[in-house]
Amino acid sequence: MQIRIEPYHAHQLDAVVRLSLRAWTPVFDSMQNAMDADVYREFYPNWRVSQQKAVEDVCAAEDTNVWVAIDGDSTVGFVAIKLHSEPIMGEIYMVAVDPDVQGHGIGTALIKFVLDWMKDAGMSVAMVETGGDPGHAPARRTYEKLGFGLLPVARYFKKL
């Protein structure tokens, strides 16, 4: 597998959406099991529709930088980041790797790429947010392997 990372182009949107929805299916299944059922339904009445829109929006946003991982002619992953001037922080806003090629270092390569890009852009801190449920465990392992430290946060929800 020979991965190259390049800037996202609008013609790649369908591939990015498809791989993201496939990559996030086990994540949303895990979150559904981890959350109160009523709260989950309020947050995610149709997660595929909301996540497709979120990916489309982030790929079109002027304040977001997006790159794709390419293997041959196939888009196999993507990462989107935002830069914040106060504090001088780069935020990994969204990342996904096609399930067919997960475990081959593509997520790690994408994260390393954007960390270098953030540093070159003058950022002094990088941040990424992810879930604490089992479905997010592979993402947490990748972030921890790359030196991210966990800030424990307790977030509680109750259906009204």
pLDDT the model gives residue 158 = 83
Query: Longest Cα pair distance anywhere in the chain, in angstroms?
Result: 50
The answer regarding whether domain 3-145 maps to CATH 1.10.287.610 reads: no
Q: To the nearest whole number, what is the mean pLDDT of the chain?
A: 94
At 106-118, the pLDDT tens digits run 999 999 999 999 9
CA 6 to CA 3: how far, in whole Å? 10
pLDDT the model gives residue 156 = 87
Residue 155 pLDDT greater than 90, yes or no: no
Among the residue ranges 18-22, 31-35, 72-76, 156-160, the one predicted with the least confidence is 156-160
Q: What is the mean pLDDT of residues 76-91?
A: 94
pLDDT the model gives residue 152 = 87
Distances (CA, A) of 14 to 59, 62, 73, 75, 97: 11, 19, 14, 10, 14
Q: Give the start-to-end residue ranges of the domains of the chain.
A: 3-145
High-pLDDT (> 70) share of the chain, %: 100
High-pLDDT (> 90) share of the chain, %: 88
pLDDT the model gives residue 14 = 97
With 0.85 as the threshold, say if the pTM is over it.
Answer: yes
Residue 29 pLDDT greater than 90, yes or no: yes
